[in-house]
Amino acid sequence: MTGLLLWALVRWAVEAVARVEAVRRESEERHRQVFERTNSVCVLVDIDTLQIVDANPAAVQFYGWTRPELLGMRLPQINTMEETALHAAVKAAADAGGKSFVVRHRLRSGAERDVEVHSTPIHLAGRRVNFSIVHDITERLGAERRLAESEANYRRALEQASDAIVVGDREGMVLEANSRAEELFGRARAEIIGHRMEELVSPADRERFPLNLRELFEGGAVLHERRLARKDGVVVEVEISARELGDGRYQAIIRDISERRRLEEQLRQAQKMEAVGQLTGGIAHDLNNLLTVVLANSEMMAGALPPGRQDLDDDLRELQAAARRGAQMIRKLLSFSRRAPLTFQVLDLGRVVGDVLDTLRRLLPAHIEIKLQRDGNPVKALADAGAIEQVVINLATNARDAMPNGGLLQLDVSKVDVAQPPAGVPPGRYARLTVRDTGLGMDERVKARAFEPFFTTKPPGEGSGLGMSMVYGLTQQHGGFVELESTLGRGTMVRVFLPLAGEDHPLPQGTPAPGSLRGGRETILLVEDEDGLRRVAQRALERVGYRVLTAADGLEALELYRRGAAEVDLVITDVVMPRLGGIALYRTLRQEGHNPRILFTSGYSAAELTDGDFPEAELVVLQKPWTLADLTQRVRNVLDRG
Ligand code: ADP
Ligand code: MG
């Protein structure tokens, strides 16, 4: 019985063990099936040797090696980590009872993948192994990296944009701003972000054109022009183009258009000046002819007066004085319309201004102090000395009028670099004359119109409104430009910039002596379309002994000359005439083989009369209005030149 019982017990035990073994085998079989069938990449790695103990089909597919190949490999052949570090990591995972890593795994193809590995230690047939599940996260990491990159690119673009960019929310609160926005608003980013957009608009504009956010959101892209109030009070004109970003935020690109506005304004001003210049130029030309008639006739009358008629002589002098004043006004007009006859020379601007100082002291009352500051070295400019004098005198006169209670007139001559000249003038080094007063100054309206001819704020009889326009015209004619700064109640500063002459230009010494005043016996062909002028010139020339033939235009002159060419010693011709002008007349005569001595008369300057292929040197011009002395002297000069 005991034996039977024992047998039964042993058998039960054996069966129990067999059952356990069967269960174990069954569970092992289930695990193996999961291991074999799962899509997850699974590998078993010996913790001590790093030998790959097993790998599932998903692993075979992922890595590209066959199972036997994989089983002959060690983990360092797959993991890109340095071996000691790798070993430590594997151990750490085992000790912690499981751990995740993000590492890189090598494939058979040589490619590397970013993987996330979760490792758990298990016992397998007496060996300590890590069971690792491997996830390929290359795509996810790439996407994350690309996102970060595009974010960085966006930031970079935002920062590098030449326009200010702000991003705001529906309520108009600024959420982001780039560094150009800081510059434009004159505020630090902290003073922009978190503030309302409206606070950045100038108070005046805020009321007139409230920022319409609804329009912004409903209309998509909008373009606005606004004035922004910088923190320092400077108002900047900007163009805002705003766009909804689609997520309730909007982005505004803000462009500084102050410079564009300034150039537009400059252009408008220049065009206006050009138009007025042409108009006045034309009028001045006609007036010149008339005044020449008046002057010359009165001079002749004075010369022909019987003795004892002092009264008539006085009258004539009055007449002449008035005509001369008229002529002076016309000179101003012509200089505004850039038609002043100028002779450019290399001169020391400081010296020319210094020379005018005496005149200024006489011109200005004692309670106005005059100071001149000059560069130690000559400031060589290519300029007309007379024109510079006119400029200084005009500016000083204006300063005087602006300082009825006295003050300081400061003149300063120096060389400067001009990086941003007005349109049409090249950047570079310029000679600069600054005239500054401590007078009444001008308001914006006056400042805007100061250079206009006939614009004056002075009572009739006191101001002609031609001073500033003359300064403007003369400077332009020099290839320079003028800047005007003025503050009401503080004073005015006018800066005149003239082209510098090269350092190696010699300064001329002295001026040639005036020629003598004589007549002669030669024959002169006088060509002039203005009857009065032609008559008085003829009589004046005849009176000093010349024989004078006259023609009313170039064609008539041509016929006369062809008939009596041998007799004519000198042709005096107006330049601008109907049918055939003076220069065309001269050309035709030259083409026909004649080579007459010629003297042109004109209200225009020589430079303006030539059309390029006519050598300026050959162009001897008698400027209108001329006096009898001018006329006879120039005639004699040309005849005597041989
Ligand atoms: P005018 O002196 O005959 O009035 P201008 O052409 O010289 O003519 O000047 C035009 C106007 O510009 C003046 O009437 C005056 O209002 C203003 N102006 C010119 N220079 C000054 C100055 N230095 N200070 C204040 N206002 C000036
Ligand atoms: Mg004036």
- pLDDT of 611 reads 58
CA angle 462, 456, 385 (to 5 degrees): 80
Interval between CA 441 and ligand 1 midpoint (Å): 9
**What's the CA gap between 562 and 152, in Å, rounded?**
86
Element (H, E) at 585: helix 582-591
Q: Identify the top-confidence range among 78-82, 218-222, 240-244, 420-424.
A: 78-82
- pLDDT of 457 reads 94
Determine whether the shortest distance from the Cβ of 319 to ligand 1 is under 6 A.
no
pLDDT band at 549 (very low <50, low <70, confident <90, very high): very high
pLDDT band at 339 (very low <50, low <70, confident <90, very high): low
pLDDT band at 108 (very low <50, low <70, confident <90, very high): very high
Determine whether the shortest distance from the Cβ of 467 to ligand 1 is under 6 A.
yes
105, 112 Cβ separation under 8 angstroms: yes
Q: Using CA atoms in the order 583, 587, 593, 596, what is the torsion angle rounded to 10 degrees? A: 20
Question: Whole-number mean pLDDT of the chain?
Answer: 84
Q: Measuring from atom 7 of ligand 1, which residue has the nearest CA?
A: 467
Residue in the block written with tokens 């007549």: 519
Determine whether the shortest distance from the Cβ of 458 to ligand 1 is under 6 A.
yes
Q: Which of 401, 458, 462, 492 to mutate to test the pocket of ligand 1 (most atoms within 8 A of CB)?
A: 401
Determine whether the shortest distance from the Cβ of 333 to ligand 1 is under 6 A.
no
pLDDT band at 514 (very low <50, low <70, confident <90, very high): very low
- Residues whose CB is less than 8 angstroms from the CB of residue 27 and which lie 6 or more positions away in sequence, other chains included: none
**What's the CA gap between 383 and 352, in Å, rounded?**
10
Task: Render 516-576 in DSSP notation, one character per residue.
Answer: -----S-EEEEE-S-HHHHHHHHHHHHHTT-EEEEESSHHHHHHHHHHHGGG--EEEEESS
Element (H, E) at 203: helix 203-208
Question: What are 558-573's pLDDT values in tens digits?
Answer: 999 988 777 889 999 9
How far is the CA of 618 from the CAs of 93, 449, 586, 598, in angstroms? 104, 40, 11, 9
Average pLDDT over every residue of 168-192? 86
Determine whether the shortest distance from the Cβ of 402 to ligand 1 is under 6 A.
yes
509, 447 Cβ separation under 8 angstroms: no
Determine whether the shortest distance from the Cβ of 398 to ligand 1 is under 6 A.
yes
Determine whether the shortest distance from the Cβ of 465 to ligand 1 is under 6 A.
yes
Question: What are 22-65's pLDDT values in tens digits?
Answer: 887 887 788 888 888 989 999 999 999 999 999 999 999 999 99
Q: Identify the top-confidence range among 84-88, 601-605, 638-642.
A: 84-88
616, 610 Cβ separation under 8 angstroms: yes
419, 464 Cβ separation under 8 angstroms: no
Radius of gyration of the chain (CA): 49
Share of the chain above pLDDT 70, in %: 90
3-class state of residue 205 by DSSP: helix
Tokens encoding 471: 């300064």
Minimum mean pLDDT range among 88-92, 267-271, 449-453: 267-271
3-class state of residue 65 by DSSP: coil
How far is the CA of 471 from the CAs of 226, 382, 496, 551, 604, in angstroms? 35, 16, 8, 38, 18
Q: Measuring from atom 23 of ligand 1, which residue has the nearest CA?
A: 399
pLDDT band at 548 (very low <50, low <70, confident <90, very high): very high
Interval between CA 395 and ligand 2 midpoint (Å): 7
Cβ atoms < 10 Å from Cβ of 618? 12
Interval between CA 253 and ligand 1 midpoint (Å): 42
**What's the CA gap between 34 and 438, in Å, rounded?**
99
Is the pLDDT at 515 greater than 50? The verdict is no
Average pLDDT over every residue of 194-212? 70
Paired sense of beta strands 99-106 and 112-124, if any: antiparallel
**What's the CA gap between 396 and 576, in Å, rounded?**
36
Q: Using CA atoms in the order 610, 615, 619, 625, what is the torsion angle rounded to 10 degrees? A: 30
Question: What are 125-141's pLDDT values in tens digits?
Answer: 788 899 999 999 999 88
Determine whether the shortest distance from the Cβ of 399 to ligand 1 is under 6 A.
yes
- Residues whose CB is less than 8 angstroms from the CB of residue 108 and which lie 6 or more positions away in sequence, other chains included: 63, 64, 65
Residue in the block written with tokens 């033939």: 549
DSSP code at position 501: P
Determine whether the shortest distance from the Cβ of 361 to ligand 1 is under 6 A.
no
Ligand approaching nearest to the C-alpha of 482: 1
The verdict on whether omega for the bond into residue 306 sits within 30 degrees of 0, i.e. cis, is no
Ligand 2 is an ion; residues with CB less than 5 A from it: 398, 467
β-sheet bridge partners, residue 482: 496
Determine whether the shortest distance from the Cβ of 450 to ligand 1 is under 6 A.
yes
Average pLDDT over every residue of 288-299? 87
3-class state of residue 297 by DSSP: helix
Q: Which of 625, 629, 638 is CA-nearest to residue 598? A: 638
Q: Which of 368, 405, 456, 462 to mutate to test the pocket of ligand 1 (most atoms within 8 A of CB)?
A: 456
Decide: residue 9, CB within 10 A, 0-12 exposed, 13-18 middle, 19+ buried.
Answer: exposed
- pLDDT of 302 reads 85
**What's the CA gap between 260 and 229, in Å, rounded?**
18
- pLDDT of 89 reads 93
CA angle 562, 563, 564 (to 5 degrees): 100
Cα 102–chain centre separation: 55
**What's the CA gap between 586 and 541, in Å, rounded?**
21
Determine whether the shortest distance from the Cβ of 608 to ligand 1 is under 6 A.
no
Determine whether the shortest distance from the Cβ of 455 to ligand 1 is under 6 A.
yes
Interval between CA 394 and ligand 2 midpoint (Å): 6
Determine whether the shortest distance from the Cβ of 470 to ligand 1 is under 6 A.
no
pTM for the structure as a whole: 0.49
**What's the CA gap between 566 and 15, in Å, rounded?**
157
Question: Which atom of ligand 1 lies nearest, measured to the CA of 435?
Answer: 23
- Residues whose CB is less than 8 angstroms from the CB of residue 58 and which lie 6 or more positions away in sequence, other chains included: 38, 39, 40, 41, 42
Interval between CA 265 and ligand 1 midpoint (Å): 21
3-class state of residue 382 by DSSP: strand
How far is the CA of 403 from the CAs of 173, 368, 492, in angstroms? 51, 8, 11
Question: Which atom of ligand 1 lies nearest, measured to the CA of 452?
Answer: 6
Is the pLDDT at 186 greater than 80? The verdict is yes
**What's the CA gap between 122 and 44, in Å, rounded?**
9
β-sheet bridge partners, residue 100: 118
